[in-house]
């Protein structure tokens, strides 16, 4: 039996944050019913057409779900949603602030009607405060949370290359729902959970927050290097490729000097014999390191770092990641079905010894509408009325 088998999740979701949370629940066996606008569906379906005509975001976030097309402007559609919620364990949504309340599905009203229901909302800034109604896209939250101020080069601030604020909020929603399910087994009561993207990403900003609050300066933007540790980051090699490495302590620094740079005297050089001094004099140290690395190609440098037990990495492209030997050795790739045929999919990273995670198809818009509404006792004419686009 899958861990969440028997758990029913109803989701009014779009874009990334909520779909990311519910896909994790579906991976573990929950039945996830994704309520979408008839015909159009989740707007993330149309972000791009790169996956055989489907959007890459949607393919990533929506396998193993059932799609129910409902026009919630209709009163009968609202009644159908109430029927679903009466049988559901979890109601999760990330519509614009106040939208769910205006539809008549506020957390307070739902708690009165369904005291065992777990209700989880995801928003940009939370349900109260001066920013509540401010539009909240991932890039904008990255800016408000200070992430962009410490990401990029000294001259150019940059956002993270993935939807990190959405993902952070989605993960906290996912773990919050799991916590509420466990709590309900003990108390018999549901829960109201609120997750804001700003607060989720602010939590992830913990190290630079403390560094700024108690230090004299904020961390500087240093590209792919580290603001407070050196050597840590990219270094050029003789074949014009980049190798990344990280020195975490003085023992590793000595090893690095002796075995990789073959210059043991450098370890005690007064310019470099502590991390703070290495950070102060990183320009001079970079020249020394790259002069040595220019004598070798990237694979030779990595071999030397491995032998010295110094942390290192290739600068992989996404194509390199797809063919990564570690993912291949651990058989992390699977396939899921979709409206455009079989697609590659990574198996979820939480690996259980006796549980195989769910890898069911990605749904078309409203693909399961008729079956779900028939379960609720609606007849053909009512179903046609509720689902027409």
What number is the average pLDDT over the span 93-99? 91
What is the CB-side half-sphere exposure of residue 154 using CA atoms within 13 A?
Answer: 2
Question: pLDDT tens digits for 224-261?
Answer: 888 889 999 999 999 999 999 999 999 999 999 999 99
Rounded CA separation 101/70 (Å): 17
Per-residue pLDDT at 227: 81
Confidence of residue 103 (pLDDT cuts 50, 70, 90): very high
Active site residue 57: no
Instruction: Single out the residue of 150, 133, 132, 134 nearest to residue 142, CA to CA.
Output: 150
Name all domains of the chain by residue range, CATH numbers in brackets: 8-204+326-387 (3.40.50.10540), 232-315 (3.30.1540.10)
Per-residue pLDDT at 55: 94
Per-residue pLDDT at 289: 96
What is the average pLDDT score of the chain? Answer: 93
Question: pLDDT tens digits for 278-287?
Answer: 999 999 999 9
Q: Does pLDDT of 388 surpass 80?
A: no
pTM: predicted TM-score of the whole model, two decimal places = 0.88
Place of tokens 């066996």: 29
Burial (CB < 10 A; 0-12, 13-18, 19+), residue 103, is middle
Tell me whether the omega of the peptide bond preceding residue 72 falls within 30 degrees of 0, making it cis.
no
Q: Which of 82, 93, 226, 368 is catalytic?
A: 226
User: Percentage of the chain surpassing pLDDT 70?
Assistant: 100
Question: pLDDT tens digits for 146-155?
Answer: 999 999 988 8
Q: Does pLDDT of 195 surpass 80?
A: yes
Q: Does pLDDT of 218 surpass 90?
A: no
Confidence of residue 383 (pLDDT cuts 50, 70, 90): confident
User: Percentage of the chain surpassing pLDDT 90?
Assistant: 80
Confidence of residue 295 (pLDDT cuts 50, 70, 90): very high
Confidence of residue 291 (pLDDT cuts 50, 70, 90): very high
Rounded CA separation 46/66 (Å): 18
- Report CA-CA distances (Å) from 245 to 3, 178, 181, 259, 313: 39, 37, 42, 14, 6
Instruction: Single out the residue of 77, 54, 69, 152 nearest to residue 365, CA to CA.
Output: 69
Per-residue pLDDT at 389: 66
Q: Are 59 and 51 in contact (CB under 8 A)?
A: yes
Per-residue pLDDT at 169: 97
Question: pLDDT tens digits for 8-60?
Answer: 999 999 999 999 999 999 999 999 999 999 989 999 999 999 999 999 999 99
Contacts of residue 83, Cβ cutoff 8 Å, sequence gap at least 6: 376, 377
Q: Does pLDDT of 97 surpass 90?
A: no
């Amino acid at each position: 039996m899958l861990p969440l088998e028997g758990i029913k999740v109803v989701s009014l979701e779009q874009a990334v944050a909520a779909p990311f949370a519910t896909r994790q629940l579906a991976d573990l066996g929950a039945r996830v019913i994704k309520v979408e606008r008839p015909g159009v569906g989740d707007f993330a379906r149309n972000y791009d057409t790169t996956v055989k005509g489907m959007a890459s975001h949607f393919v990533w976030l929506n396998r193993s779900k059932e799609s129910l097309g409902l026009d919630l402007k209709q009163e009968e559609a609202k009644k159908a949603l109430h029927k679903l919620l009466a049988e559901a364990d979890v109601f999760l949504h990330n519509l614009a602030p106040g939208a769910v309340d205006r539809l008549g599905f506020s957390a307070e009203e739902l708690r009165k009607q369904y005291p065992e229901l777990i209700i989880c909302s995801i928003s940009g800034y939370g349900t109260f405060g001066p920013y509540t109604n401010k539009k909240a896209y991932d890039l904008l939250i990255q800016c408000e949370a200070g992430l962009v101020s410490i990401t990029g080069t000294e001259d150019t601030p940059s956002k993270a290359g993935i939807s990190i604020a959405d993902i952070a909020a989605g993960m906290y929603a996912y773990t919050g729902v799991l916590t509420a399910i466990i709590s309900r087994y003990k108390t018999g009561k549901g829960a109201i959970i609120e997750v804001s993207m700003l607060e989720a990403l602010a939590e992830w900003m913990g190290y630079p927050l403390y560094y700024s609050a108690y230090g004299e300066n904020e961390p500087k933007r240093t590209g792919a290097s580290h603001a407070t540790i050196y050597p840590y980051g990219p270094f050029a090699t003789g074949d014009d490729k980049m190798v990344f490495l990280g020195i975490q302590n003085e023992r590793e620094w000595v090893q690095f000097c002796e075995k990789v740079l073959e210059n043991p005297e450098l370890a005690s050089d007064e310019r470099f014999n502590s991390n703070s001094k290495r950070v102060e004099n990183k320009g001079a140290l970079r020249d020394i390191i790259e002069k040595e690395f220019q004598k070798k190609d990237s694979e030779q440098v990595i071999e030397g770092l491995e032998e010295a037990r110094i942390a290192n990495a290739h600068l992989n492209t996404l194509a390199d990641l797809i063919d990564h030997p570690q993912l291949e050795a651990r058989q992390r790739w699977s396939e899921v079905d979709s409206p455009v045929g079989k697609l590659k999919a990574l198996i979820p990273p939480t690996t259980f010894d006796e549980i195989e995670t769910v890898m069911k198809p990605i749904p078309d818009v409203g693909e399961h509408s008729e079956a779900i509404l028939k379960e609720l006792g609606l007849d053909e004419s009512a179903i046609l009325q509720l689902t027409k686009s």
